[in-house]
């Protein structure tokens, strides 16, 4: 056949050279089927699916710091919090207190002006008498009386200033308490429950409603140590499923406490890159390959005669008996053996089966 082909090439030296190169390459690089090539020992793994349901990243209870009657509720369950206050409490009584305190401040301001005017007058009078005393035109007793009147006026002025400062502090407190009659919740959060409606009378510290932040969704999971290590090994953010849609996830929080009953730990994944509705209860799934007991080797690497399965090492040809534990995707799972390390090459022979 080669001679015939060479004759067909004739005198074309270029074609003859290409043919010769191809011929020699085939002689030195024979083709092998996958069944004839050496197999690799791998760690046995199995597929598992972690599943859970979405919830809001943060929830909080809205409570009242003051008592009174609810006169307005601006949001209801399912609505997003805006700039308006969530609840408004009747401020009538606090307004009365503020008005009364304001009148007291006005009265003190008048008294303060009178005291300042009196101090200025008495100071001028004292300076006049003091000058007369130096010229022996006034008695020592007159000078002392003027000094005493000035000192008393100064004390009275300082007392009024102190009283006004205390009343101003009380006014600031009342103003702050009045602000708390308008109860706000974080803007952008969603109302998930309401315990109080318009017209009800509440006490200080009463819980009014619950709100949640659904702008970021998380998924709480309870996982084994092997599952946790498999999730940690994924490059973040890793792909997952959110209902019928795709999404990305990453580890958000890990609770280090170990549950002795379930023998699992609790973790929380945070989701991103999803177009699903921002709500709780969406089904989350994450497919994983986790390590299990045993080694994974190709079925073609196992020979079995007289129900005695074994494999042969490519290096040295040593045969090793194996115990078959199961199978997966055309491969066999065998018990671990100190002579079969991960990555060991085995001789693969077509047609062999561990179930002969």
For the domain that residue 106 is a member of, what is the CATH number? 1.10.287
Looking at the fold, whether 283 and 300 belong to one and the same domain comes out as: no
Stated pTM of the model: 0.64
- Last residue of one domain, picked from the residues 128, 161, 180: 180
Residue 66 within a domain: no
In three-state form (DSSP H/G/I as H, E/B as E, the rest C), the secondary structure along 7-34 is HHHCCCHHHHHHHHHHHHHHHHCCCCCC
Looking at the fold, whether 299 and 332 belong to one and the same domain comes out as: yes
Q: Are 309 and 263 in contact (CB under 8 A)?
A: no
In the predicted model, is pLDDT for residue 241 greater than 70? yes
Closest CA to 211 of 232, 227, 190: 190
For the domain that residue 280 is a member of, what is the CATH number? 2.40.30
Looking at the fold, whether 157 and 95 belong to one and the same domain comes out as: yes
Looking at the fold, whether 158 and 218 belong to one and the same domain comes out as: no
Q: Which residues pair with 241 in a beta bridge?
A: 246, 285
Confidence of residue 342 (pLDDT cuts 50, 70, 90): confident
Q: Are 282 and 52 in contact (CB under 8 A)?
A: no
Looking at the fold, whether 278 and 314 belong to one and the same domain comes out as: no
- Cα(340)–Cα(132) distance, rounded to whole angstroms? 119
In the predicted model, is pLDDT for residue 42 greater than 90? no
| Residue 102: predicted pLDDT | 94
pLDDT (tens digit per residue) in 128-154: 888 888 888 878 888 889 889 999 999
Q: Which residues pair with 345 in a beta bridge?
A: 40
Which domain does 173 fall in, by range?
A: 91-180
| Residue 336: predicted pLDDT | 83
Confidence of residue 350 (pLDDT cuts 50, 70, 90): low
pLDDT (tens digit per residue) in 159-217: 999 999 999 999 999 999 999 999 999 999 999 999 999 999 999 999 999 999 998 89
Looking at the fold, whether 274 and 305 belong to one and the same domain comes out as: no
Looking at the fold, whether 268 and 313 belong to one and the same domain comes out as: no
Closest CA to 71 of 251, 238, 218, 201: 201
Question: What share of the chain in percent tops pLDDT 90?
Answer: 47
Q: Are 297 and 255 in contact (CB under 8 A)?
A: no
- Cα(200)–Cα(90) distance, rounded to whole angstroms? 11
Number of domains in the chain: 3
Q: Are 350 and 318 in contact (CB under 8 A)?
A: no
In the predicted model, is pLDDT for residue 157 greater than 70? yes
Residue 86 within a domain: no
For the domain that residue 322 is a member of, what is the CATH number? 2.40.420.20
């Amino acid at each position: 056949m080669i001679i015939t082909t060479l004759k067909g090439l004739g005198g074309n030296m270029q074609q003859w050279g290409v043919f010769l190169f191809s011929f020699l390459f085939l002689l030195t690089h024979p083709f092998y089927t996958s069944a004839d090539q050496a197999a690799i020992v791998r760690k046995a793994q199995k597929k598992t699916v972690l599943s859970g349901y979405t919830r809001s990243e943060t929830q909080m209870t809205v409570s009242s710091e003051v008592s009174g009657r609810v006169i307005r509720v601006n949001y209801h369950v399912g609505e997003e919090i805006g700039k308006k206050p969530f609840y408004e409490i009747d401020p009538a009584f606090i307004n009365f207190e503020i008005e009364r305190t304001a009148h007291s401040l006005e009265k003190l301001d008048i008294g303060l002006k009178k005291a300042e005017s009196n101090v200025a007058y008495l100071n001028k009078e004292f300076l006049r008498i003091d000058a007369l005393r130096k010229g022996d035109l006034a008695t020592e007793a007159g000078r002392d009386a003027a000094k005493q009147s000035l000192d008393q006026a100064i004390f009275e002025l300082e007392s009024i200033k102190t009283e006004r400062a205390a009343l101003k502090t009380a006014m600031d407190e009342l103003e702050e308490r009045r602000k708390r009659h308008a109860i706000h919740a974080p803007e952008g959060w969603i109302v998930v429950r309401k315990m109080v409606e318009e017209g009800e009378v509440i006490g200080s510290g009463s819980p009014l409603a619950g709100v949640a932040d659904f702008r970021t969704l998380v998924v709480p999971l309870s996982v084994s140590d092997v599952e946790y290590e498999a999730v940690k090994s994924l490059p973040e953010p890793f792909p997952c499923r959110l209902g019928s849609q795709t999404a990305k996830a990453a580890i958000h929080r890990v609770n280090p406490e170990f549950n002795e009953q379930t023998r699992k730990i609790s973790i929380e994944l945070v989701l991103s890159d999803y177009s699903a509705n921002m709500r709780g209860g969406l089904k989350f799934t994450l497919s994983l390959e986790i390590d299990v007991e045993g080694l994974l080797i190709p079925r073609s690497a196992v020979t079995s005669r007289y129900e005695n399965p074994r494999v042969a090492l490519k290096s040295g040809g040593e045969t090793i008996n194996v115990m078959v534990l199961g199978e997966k995707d055309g491969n066999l799972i065998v018990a671990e053996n100190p002579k079969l390390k991960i990555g060991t090459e085995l001789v693969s022979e077509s047609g062999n089966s561990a179930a002969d």
